[in-house]
Amino acid sequence: MGAAESVPETSIHEFTVKDCNGKEVSLETYKGKVLLVVNVASKCGFTETNYTQLTELYQKYRDKGLFFA
């Protein structure tokens, strides 16, 4: 067996993602904030329930700094 390949550590803040409108957003924007990243498939069957629960979670914790991306 060979030595494992070394992978440099990467911060989530180094990534850029697309928002729901297709606009590129740097996660650096959210540095220092509480951030929950949610990845859903729009046709998986759970999406509507997930959005309802996420909305409730956001309403409960937004004053404490919770933000969704």
Catalytic-labelled residue, pool 44, 48, 63, 64:
44
Active site residue 44: yes
The residue to which tokens 């859903």 are assigned:
40
Cα dihedral across residues 65, 16, 24, 50: positive or negative: negative
SS3 48: helix
List 66's β-bridge partners, or say none: 34
- Tell me the catalytic residues: 44
